[in-house]
Structure 1
Amino acid sequence: MYFLNGDRIYIKPQNSCAGFDNQLLDCLFQLKNFNASKKIFKLNFFVDTASEEDYQNLSAKLEKQVGEKFPSPVVVCLIAQPPLTCRVLVEAFYYDSTLWQAGLIHDKNGTAILFKREKTEVLIGNVQSNRINTCRKNAEIAFSALEGLLQQAALPVDSVIRQWNYIENILGMDNGRQCYQEFNNVRSAFYSGYFDKTGYPAATGIGINRGGVLIEFVAVNSRDAVSIPLDNPEQVAAHDYSKKVLVADKPEEKSTPKFERARYFELFKKKMVFISGTASIRGEKTVGTGDPVEQTRITINNIQQLYSPEQLLKISGNLLQPQYGHARVYIKNRKDFAAVKRTFKKYYGNLPVVYIIADICRDDLLVEIEGKVILE
């Protein structure tokens, strides 16, 4: 994490044609060497699995192997999304252990690292429920676990500034109700009364092939932090969507997605923007239907609005220089990969980016992009 005086890197197998086990061992070997100079605290493994049993077995295997290879605690997260250029992709987060103290905390359904420095506390981890058949129940259990971790760390709910919400069968139906809408209903109930003054977290809501409901989060409690929600003037804020774009039979079951388009965040002179999962939406309507190139172009334009010179000047009063730090690009259909990649490179050149296959929160959306912007 940038504001922990560290960052994140993506580890790919050196031989993308090798079998899965060899690719995984190669990634773990690279990570062990990397950890000799950097203090890794969280690993996300992007892998597809053939069944729920395979998912559970691989999750246990990763926990065991990481525990054997790393001397200090590491939070492990298995995200059932297939990467497009290899069979396993690892996202590694590291921090400066000379500046931050770190300790592991557990909940029955979650794990996190609590960082402390002076009077600042940062909690980073993930919670998950995938043992129940319904999305709503999984979401309730996951948010309950999030609450438990926050309580252990003595952090309020509104200290959460960034979330990644992974939802199995996101567009599918759960007892006649859309899974994503059910997740939004649970999230709204959990957030109720907490974010009225601060604005909601930046967030991504995206599909996974297995895993129930999985939530990654970053929470910060500090008098020295500055955290400001950002809007795109060409998009309706997601939490202000009208009922007509939400999927449910009854108005009372149509809670809006509670997240901000982005958040400006500053801590210990580190300045950045968390870019939420962003898609080809203008106002509250999908545009570029059926055209992955156009959707990618509009998505990037939407992202650039969030760190425009006018936006940054309004936030800080200074002319900050933005540098897009990294991106995840989620693509609904494998056949669109080449066109999406070509369009992304046209705007961002050789920026560190990973491409992942994932279902997106509307039937007509083909691409979603998230990332961070470093400000200097």
Structure 2
Amino acid sequence: MREGKIKVTQGIMIKPKYQIFIPGCIGSFEEQWSDCFNEFQLFLNTYPNQKAFIARVFVGANNPDEYFSYSKQIESRLNATGIPFSVVAESPESPVLVMIEAGFVNSADIQIEYGMAGTVRYSKINSSGYNEYWFAGVGSGIEGESTREKSANAFASLLEAFLKLGIGFNSVFRQWNYVEQIFDFDQTENRQRQNYQLFNEIRNEYYSKYLTGQGFPAATGIGTNLNGVTIECMAVTSDSEVTTVAISNPKQLNSYKYGQDVLKGDPQFSCKQNQPPQFERARLMTNGNGSRLFISGTASIVGQETIGLNDVEKQAYVTIENIGQLVSEKNLRAHYPELTVFPDKYAYVRVYVKNEEDIPTVKVICENHFGAVPMTFVKADICRADLLVEIEAEMIS
């Protein structure tokens, strides 16, 4: 239903760069965070033309009080920069307790500004009428609220920010959805409701009402240890033409067509079926002079079935094969025959691994395949209990 290409507008093709900042010391969280932030600040001071448009801080926290304490320390440093950021409760590989993944653009070529829209922090990249908005930290971690309530609060905050900036859900190109204990179940309305399904229902409510164009955003739906529901997204508006195309994978069923047998938990009373996740496997942006490809969170799924049960190496290889199929020139040309400039370089790769002890194994496989690319490895639950690895990425020409 929401497939094909659409026209939006753009004057220049942004080519972001990503950097990962890891503490150089082994010590307490306070010591590691101070060292990590100092490395980040040193980069900003050393390269004044490199302006950050978003930052993700990954932390390992064992309980809400610990997460709250860590978040306060992180916010006290990053708030002063104006950069939109999220504090994500996904543990880096031990002994690292905290790290920063940040995206940068060269301000010698474009303009970047920071602001607040309602309660949401954002950055705006502008060049010759092209506007790219990045939003981070949009969410609710209030204790006592259900996942459904937290999801609704996150989307409501995002909508408020969009309305203040004069944009809408049709402009959203890439989205990240962090859901606490994503595949756990909660007793709601005397039914066993999965947290991911509760999030998907709210996403569907907002998309059904406010998303009127063709296609869904590229997206990642991933589990976190704490902090409820957090959304990040990138939206685009402009005054010159670019083609955007929803890219599917011939080896995988589109997520929004998943059958009920792979969607877990009871549906809500008002619905006969569970709501499948709504995202494209990837989205391509091109204007003839360049291209970018946003690769959604990808796992070891063929058709709609999980491949490589209890075998992390098998799942890592199948996931990489799925990405290879997705980004191949043959597949991109099949979706958009007029494409002339192909994305051929990875700007970043982020790898989610369910079990921390598997990170070294997955890291070797990914480094051998992707090469010298900024890569982040974190411990996180994937959207299915039997999935052990998920990989997302962005490619540029």
- What TM-score, normalized by structure 2, do the two folds share? 0.87
Partner residue of 2:217?
201
Which of the numbers 212, 215, 226 marks the counterpart of 2:243? 226
Partner residue of 1:298?
318
Deviations 1:215-267, CA, capped at 9 Å, x for gaps: 01001112433221100001000011112211232463511100000011236
Partner residue of 1:265?
285
Q: Which has the higher contact order (CA 8 A, sep 6+)?
A: 2
Partner residue of 1:13?
23
In structure 1, C-alpha distance between the alignment counterparts of 2:275 and 2:362, rounded to whole Å: 31
**Aligned-pair CA distance for 1:89:** 1.0
Aligned length, in residue pairs: 369
Partner SS, residue 277 of structure 2: coil
**Aligned-pair CA distance for 1:101:** 4.1
Which of the numbers 129, 140, 146 marks the counterpart of 1:129? 140
Partner SS, residue 347 of structure 1: helix
**Aligned-pair CA distance for 1:302:** 0.5
* Mapping of residues 111-130 of structure 1, within 5 Å: 111-126=121-136, 127-130=138-141
In structure 2, C-alpha distance between the alignment counterparts of 1:62 and 1:300, rounded to whole Å: 33
Q: Are the counterparts in 1 of residues 83 and 114 from structure 2 also a CA contact under 8 Å?
A: no
In structure 2, C-alpha distance between the alignment counterparts of 1:327 and 1:5, rounded to whole Å: 15
Partner residue of 2:42?
33
Q: Return 5+ residue gaps in structure 2 as ranges.
A: 1-11
**Aligned-pair CA distance for 1:317:** 3.4
Partner residue of 1:149?
161
* Mapping of residues 243-282 of structure 1, within 5 Å: 243-250=260-267, 252-266=272-286, 269-282=289-302
Partner residue of 2:233?
217
Question: Cα 1:79–1:267, aligned 2, differ >3 Å: closer, same or farther?
Answer: farther
* Mapping of residues 173-192 of structure 1, within 5 Å: 173-174=185-186, 175=188, 176-192=192-208
**Aligned-pair CA distance for 1:332:** 0.5
In structure 1, C-alpha distance between the alignment counterparts of 2:15 and 2:373, rounded to whole Å: 20
Comparing 55-64 with 84-93, greater Cα deviation is found at: 55-64
Partner SS, residue 91 of structure 2: coil
Partner residue of 1:75?
84
Letter of the 1:12 counterpart = I
Q: Are the counterparts in 2 of residues 312 and 319 from structure 1 also a CA contact under 8 Å?
A: no
Partner SS, residue 255 of structure 1: coil
Q: Are the counterparts in 1 of residues 347 and 396 from structure 2 also a CA contact under 8 Å?
A: yes
Letter of the 1:90 counterpart = I
In structure 2, C-alpha distance between the alignment counterparts of 1:245 and 1:66, rounded to whole Å: 40
Aligned CA-pair RMSD: 2.0
Q: Are the counterparts in 2 of residues 120 and 224 from structure 1 also a CA contact under 8 Å?
A: no
Letter of the 2:115 counterpart = L
Q: Are the counterparts in 1 of residues 51 and 104 from structure 2 also a CA contact under 8 Å?
A: yes
In structure 1, C-alpha distance between the alignment counterparts of 2:165 and 2:212, rounded to whole Å: 22
Q: Return 5+ residue gaps in structure 1 as ranges.
A: none
Partner SS, residue 272 of structure 1: strand
Letter of the 2:175 counterpart = Q
- What TM-score, normalized by structure 1, do the two folds share? 0.92
Question: Cα 1:7–1:349, aligned 2, differ >3 Å: closer, same or farther?
Answer: closer
Partner SS, residue 327 of structure 2: coil
Q: Are the counterparts in 2 of residues 202 and 262 from structure 1 also a CA contact under 8 Å?
A: yes
**Aligned-pair CA distance for 1:94:** 2.1
Question: Cα 1:321–1:47, aligned 2, differ >3 Å: closer, same or farther?
Answer: closer
Partner residue of 1:104?
115
In structure 2, C-alpha distance between the alignment counterparts of 1:59 and 1:134, rounded to whole Å: 21
Which of the numbers 163, 167, 181 marks the counterpart of 1:169? 181
Letter of the 1:274 counterpart = F
Partner residue of 2:170?
158
Q: Are the counterparts in 2 of residues 274 and 373 from structure 1 also a CA contact under 8 Å?
A: yes
Residue 45 (structure 1) aligned with residue 57 (structure 2): yes
